[in-house]
Amino acid sequence: MPDHASAGYWVRRFLSEYLVHERGLSKNTQQSYRDTFCLFLPFVATTVKTPVDRLIIDDLSPGIVSNFLAHVEQARSCSVATRNQRLATLHAFARFTAECSPEHVEWCAHIRRVPFKRAWRSPLPYMEKDEIDELLRAPDRLTELGQRDYALLLFLYNSGARATEAAGLLIDDLTWDATGTGSVKIRGKGRKIRFCPLWKKTMAELLPIRCFSTATVTRSPGLESMRWWHAMQRPRRKTFHH
């Protein structure tokens, strides 16, 4: 079987070359694309009764793509959003293959005619102010772990950062100023960076992180960019709140 006819050949190039080197997509996005093929290729192999390593591009027909999407929704109980995400991966794969192999342009056109499904968007949930206050009162601030948890919850409330965004912050992403307020640089999805101002109350709770960082850097140069949440695991020596 010539390489240009093998589905495996194009899948390998798409995942290992195009996504990584040409597009430079994040690890999470690469993993999402890979997961689609982990589901799609065995489904195709079962449908056409051919081993996965013997599949050709023409086996990935629009009809099989449509059946796979129905399988994702019905057998796997996935949402329409997940179904559309899988289809977007297959559309991108078809476009890449056609750009590199003109003989597959017609096949690409057929695959890209498989439509996305429209669905109602769920309303965004939110918490009332009194619910936020109750959440912030939950940590026992007479303990070191309680103080840490309170500082993290207050930061998330103030900044609106996702949990994964907060986990990826560095200590020197936090900026203090003379007024007692400050700001934080947050790296979001799609490699987008945003700056968020922080309240005096939030900065006062985060101040021990900077103190710990300064002491650590004095002993070990080069650690100034350590993860801030790691610093929060350290005991915080300060007067307890009453």
Q: Which residues contact 189 (CB under 8 A, 6 or more apart)?
A: 162
Rounded to an integer, the average pLDDT of 155-182 is 89
Q: Please give the share of the chain, as a percent, with pLDDT higher than 90.
A: 60
Confidence of residue 27 (pLDDT cuts 50, 70, 90): confident
Look at residue 89 and tell me whether its pLDDT is greater than 50.
Answer: yes
pLDDT in the model for residue 238:
43
Cβ neighbours, 10 Å, residue 14: 23
Sign of the C-alpha dihedral, residues 191, 195, 196, 202?
Answer: positive
Taking only the tens place, the pLDDT of each residue in 130-153 is: 999 999 999 999 988 888 899 999
Rounded to an integer, the average pLDDT of 209-231 is 52
Strands 182-187 and 174-176, sheet pairing: antiparallel
Confidence of residue 230 (pLDDT cuts 50, 70, 90): low
CA pair distance 4, 24, nearest whole angstrom? 24
CA pair distance 23, 191, nearest whole angstrom? 13
CA pair distance 32, 65, nearest whole angstrom? 17
Taking only the tens place, the pLDDT of each residue in 92-119 is: 999 999 999 999 999 999 999 999 999 8
Look at residue 198 and tell me whether its pLDDT is greater than 70.
Answer: yes
Nearest alpha carbon to residue 202 among 227, 237, 166, 233:
166
Whether 184 and 229 have beta carbons less than 8 Å apart is answered as no
Confidence of residue 160 (pLDDT cuts 50, 70, 90): very high
Pick the range with the lowest mean pLDDT from 123-132, 195-204, 224-233. 224-233
Look at residue 237 and tell me whether its pLDDT is greater than 70.
Answer: no
Look at residue 228 and tell me whether its pLDDT is greater than 80.
Answer: no
Looking at residue 100, its amino acid is C
* Domains assigned to the chain: 3-112 (1.10.150), 129-231 (1.10.443.10)
Order of strands across the sheet that contains 182-187:
174-176, 182-187, 193-198
Q: pTM of the predicted model, to two decimals?
A: 0.68
